[in-house]
Amino acid sequence: MISVKNIYKDFGTLRVLNAVSCEIKDGEKVVIIGPSGSGKSTMLRCMNLLESPTYGEIWLDGKLLTPADPYLHPAVMQTSKTYAKLYGKMPDEAEVIRAIKEKDLLKKHEGRAYQAALKEVEKQNQIDINLARQQMGMVFQHFNLFNNMTVLQNLTLAPVQLKLKSKEEAEQHAMQLLTRIGLQDKANVYPSTLSGGQKQRIAIVRALAMNPKVMLFDEPTSALDPEMVGEVLDLIRELADEGMTMVIVTHEMGFAREVADRILFMDGGQIVEEAPPAELFTSPQNPRTKEFLSKVL
Amino acid sequence: MKKLLSILLVAVLLLGTVASFASCSNEETIIVQTNAFFAPFEYYDGTEIKGVDVEIMNMVGEKLGKKIEFENVEFSAIIDNVKAGEVCDAGAAGITITKERKDKVDFSTPYYTSVQYVIFEKDNDAITTKTADGTEYIVWETLAGKTIGVQTDTTGWIYTDGEINATADNDYGYNGVLYGTETKLNCYDNGQLAADAITANHIDVVIIDELPAQYIVSKNSSFKCVPLYYSGETDADDAPVEEQYAICVTKGNQELLDAINDVLAELMVKDAHGKTEIEKMVMTHMGMN
Amino acid sequence: MDFFHKIIELFSTPKYMESIWEGLKTTLIISVLAALIGLLLGTLLAIVAIAKDSKWTKLPKLICKIYITVIRGTPMALQLFIMAYVIFAIRGFPQIVTATIAFGLNSSAYVAENIRAGILSVDIGQTEAGRALGLPGRTTMLKIVIPQAIKNVIPAIGNELIALIKETSIVSMIGMYDLTMAAKIIGSGNNMASYIVPMTVVALFYLGIVYLLTFGIKLIEKRLRASDKR
């Protein structure tokens, strides 16, 4: 479903993500854990391009979301001037490609053929980012309900604006979703009158109103009062049981263990270890994973 | 609603521009700049500018068969605007002929002789000189150390500034009467504002032309005004600070200048009682008729 | 008391009231038209100012920045002077247009800054939530950010309008017949020969206008806030 290919993310001189790759399969529930500042939220936000990766590519269902990264396409690299220069000085093609990759040798101007090759890759594979985002629901730590709209308007805005549904259809669907979470009586109130737990559940169904293929959760319970964490986790668990593909960044280890098919442990901008929960929580291999788990469990 | 407003706005702006170019192309209008705070020569009566200068220029307009349009601006802007000749053709604002102004614009024949007056509070009349025949005046010397108010760029300002700052070394070639004394000069936008500054104790006296001075005093019972004199060898040699008003036009506009001079020549003819038309106009506009 | 006598004299003399009425008209016309120009142009400037950096927006953004800096960094009186005596030094050009443009341009710089600040004050999470749903940037701006920004901007714009109205009093500098000029005329030598009473009366007129405006802004604010808690 989602392929993250060798992404780097720099904020100024700070490298937040360092050569991260991973694959989210259809129907899979992946939970990302790790200490704060490890890059897990940035990684999630890169998946729907709220942050643009500095290098690397993101793919959704075989479609490219980011600009094409030449380092991931040997055929493109072979058209570059740098390649032409190095070819002959080295024993074989693979050697040249490796040298270019390792030493980051590609420049801004690598000739017309190279530009055309890169464009061609994008033309063949790229999908409009807004179209891609419609298929990826995102839930934020701070809910981010639209303050200037009622709950119902929050749910219907995107489907109606994007002409996916008529206003009536959208409202009907929205009411179904609200009924499901037991908040149908809040349809016409403004978000400022709701509790944190209610807000987050509405934020989740707002994403569901778009019928996404995958849901991204960015620390969905971190901003909640403890007594409201449960209701939000219950809803996420329900979705998981229905088979929704999910990527969840969270600090709730018990929940992670229960819901995840696979856990990614991130530290220092890299995926340090990944394994099914039973394995990772009971017998972590990497010392950094061990250290982290010993603190949080 | 918003759309309507913006359309309205554009319409107003367009209209304004069109109107302006319409009047631009109209060669039949003579634009005269003035400063309508100088009764009886020019003043606002309600929303209309009236006065001796207005009457004179209207007669000029009649003579030339052109429309006269008066514009009210800062007095200090008039000479430069007339000099440039872009926005106006003439200046009629009781303008005194001075050498510096003559370099910039052409002046008509003088049509009024004015004397500089000093306005002060009645209680303060120890500063005046009284002669045996009852005339009362102030000589420059008695103003030493006082704070004097004037209207910016008027002759009152030019004279006072000269007397305070002129030295033998600079352009003036002589020492001003008040040079080296602690006399201070405050400038105001118009004479009335200067007069109000006396009431507010900011200044001691105002130096201004005769007629506006008499106007102000006639409406404020606490003020008094007397002419300003240069002191001579003896009291008998003391002489008033005199000046002559004229109308100015952009250099080279001979047609307009000739027409003004013709009108002035007619108005300067004395009648059976020895009075000129100009003098009668002055009396009318001062409400003394 | 002489002061009260003169106030009565002012209000009972048709000529003086005509002056005040004429001045009031000019003041209101300049204020309203300049406010409209200021709001329209200011919004435009703000949109340019907050546009994303790209090679297309680089030059407009720079111009916009310089414009706002220059306008906010120089006195209104000098801007009016330059407008009247340099830019529109055209024979017979209507002064009301000169003044309206001068004040409109001046106001637009302040409005632009207010709007920019208002938009930036809307939590970035609102934009992110909109974009994450697949809404284009423009829709997100129009449907989500701007409606919230308006609420933050209204009080600041109100202040700007109040400042604008009072600042129009300097048009008498270029000889225009506004409220302040009316006071000067009524106070001049051939009329009341004292500035104190007419200036006081005219000050009350300004106060009245500003009070009405403040009242209107309060109403708008109240209505906007009502949508918060329903």
Domain ranges for chain C: 33-176, 180-225
User: What pLDDT does residue B15 have?
Assistant: 56
Query: How far is the CA of B197 from the CAs of A107, B147, B205, B217, in angstroms?
Result: 75, 11, 9, 14
Intra-chain end-to-end CA distance of chain B, in Å: 57
Query: What per-residue confidence (pLDDT) applies to A275?
Result: 93
Residue A199 has pLDDT above 50, yes or no: yes
- Smallest Cβ–Cβ distance between C175 and the set B31, B69, B73 belongs to B73
Q: Does residue C25 register a pLDDT over 70?
A: yes
Average pLDDT over residues B21-40: 75
| Nearest CA distance, B47 vs chain C (angstrom) | 6
- Judge contact between B50 and B285, C-beta under 8 A: yes
Task: Let me know: does A135 contact A162? Beta carbons within 8 Å.
Answer: no
How large is the average pLDDT for residues C47-58?
86
Give the model's pLDDT for residue B12.
56
For chain C, report the end-to-end CA distance as a whole number of angstroms: 56
How high is the mean pLDDT of chain A?
Answer: 91
**pLDDT reported for residue C230:** 46
* Chain A contact residues (CB < 8 Å to C): 48, 50, 130-134, 136-138, 140, 142, 144-149, 157-158, 161-162, 188-190, 192-193, 203, 206-207, 210
Tell me the pLDDT band of B45, cut-offs 50, 70 and 90: confident
- Show Cβ contacts of residue A30 under 8 Å, excluding neighbours closer than 6 positions: A22, A24, A246, A247, A248, A260, A261, A262, A263, A264
Interface of B with C in 216-275 (CB under 8 A): 216, 218-220
Mean pLDDT value across residues B268-288? 85
State whether residue B19 sits within 8 Å of chain C by CB.
Answer: yes
CATH-assigned architecture of domain C33-176: Orthogonal Bundle (1.10)
User: Which residue of A138, A142, A146 is in closest CB contact with C132?
Assistant: A138
Q: How far apart are CA C121 and CA C134, in angstroms?
A: 23
On the question of pLDDT at B167 being above 80, the answer is no
B17: confidence class by pLDDT, cuts 50, 70, 90: low
pLDDT band for B26, please (50, 70, 90 cuts): low
Preferred mutation among B67, B71, B192 to probe C, highest tally of C CBs within 10 A: B192
Domains and CATH numbers, chain B: 28-113+244-285 (3.40.190.10), 114-243 (3.40.190.10)
In this predicted structure, the answer to whether residue C18 has a pLDDT above a threshold of 80 is: yes
Give the ipTM of the model, two decimals please.
0.88
* Chains A and B touch, using 3 or more CB pairs below 8 Å: no
Cβ–Cβ below 8 Å for A142 and C125:
yes
Q: What is the pLDDT of residues C97-152, one digit of tens each?
A: 999 999 999 999 999 999 999 999 999 999 999 999 999 998 999 999 988 998 88
CB-CB: which of C136, C143, C148 is closest to A157? C143
Helix C2-12 with C196-226: angle, nearest 10 deg: 70
Q: Answer whether C90 sits within 8 Å of B9, measured CB to CB.
A: no
| Per-residue model confidence (pLDDT) at position A74 | 84
Residue B201 has pLDDT above 80, yes or no: yes
CA distances for B209 relative to A15, A129, A192, angstroms: 80, 79, 71
The tens digit of pLDDT for each residue in A211-238 reads: 999 999 999 999 999 999 999 999 999 9
Percentage of chain A surpassing pLDDT 90?
Answer: 77
Q: At A293, is the pLDDT very low, low, confident or very high (cuts 50, 70, 90)?
A: very high
Residue type, B147: T
| Element containing residue B178 per DSSP (H, E) | none
Residue A226, preceding bond cis, omega within 30 degrees? no
pLDDT digits (tens, 9 = 90+) for C169-228: 999 888 889 999 999 888 876 777 778 899 999 999 999 999 999 999 999 888 887 666
Residue B25: pLDDT above 60?
Answer: no
The predicted-structure confidence for B179-190, as pLDDT tens digits, reads as follows 888 899 998 888
How far is A27 from A24, CA to CA, in rounded Å? 9
C227 vs A24, which has greater pLDDT? A24
Q: Would you call C175 and B13 a contact, using CB atoms and an 8 Å cutoff? A: no
pLDDT score of C52 more than 70: yes
Q: Which amino acid is at B99?
A: K
pLDDT tens column, A142-166: 999 999 999 999 999 999 999 999 9
Mutation to test the C interface, candidates B15, B17, B42, B72, most C Cβ within 10 Å: B72
Collect all residues with Cβ–Cβ distance below 8 Å to C177 and sequence separation of at least 6. Answer: B47, B72, C22, C23, C26, C185
